[in-house]
Amino acid sequence: MRTEELKHKITFQKLTTTTNENGFEVEVWEDYSTVWAVVSNLIGREYFAAAAVQAEKTVKFTIRYLQGITDDMRILFEDKQYNITFIDNIKYKNKYIEIKALEVENSG
């Protein structure tokens, strides 16, 4: 993969617990890291596997290796939120990570 293919900016967020002004604990999404990524839709066999479990809005993000990314984080990309469903350290070389994430529907 060439670095010029990493042309989309995405932000990883993690859920943290803080105390609000009234002294109550609240959960908020906090930015973890903003990186450049290749963003693509699933095609072929990957798409049909996702469609079988009603996960058609799954998107594949490929980034340079970044330590600390976990599947309880979410991704912000083009004003949409994506829940991480799968993380693959490609060939365990610590060079690139492929992440599959499901778009979250806006509620209310």
Sequence ranges of the domains in the chain = 3-103
DSSP 3-state of 49: helix
Tokens of 12: 């990883």
Specify the pLDDT at position 4. Answer: 75
HSE of 85 in the Cβ direction (CA atoms, 13 Å)? 15
The CATH H-level (homologous superfamily) assignment of domain 3-103 is Bacteriophage SPP1 head-tail adaptor protein (2.40.10.270)
pLDDT category, 108, cuts 50, 70, 90? very low
User: Which candidate, 67, 46, 50, 62, places its Cα nearest to that of 98?
Assistant: 62
Is 0.85 surpassed by the pTM of this model?
A: no
pLDDT category, 58, cuts 50, 70, 90? confident
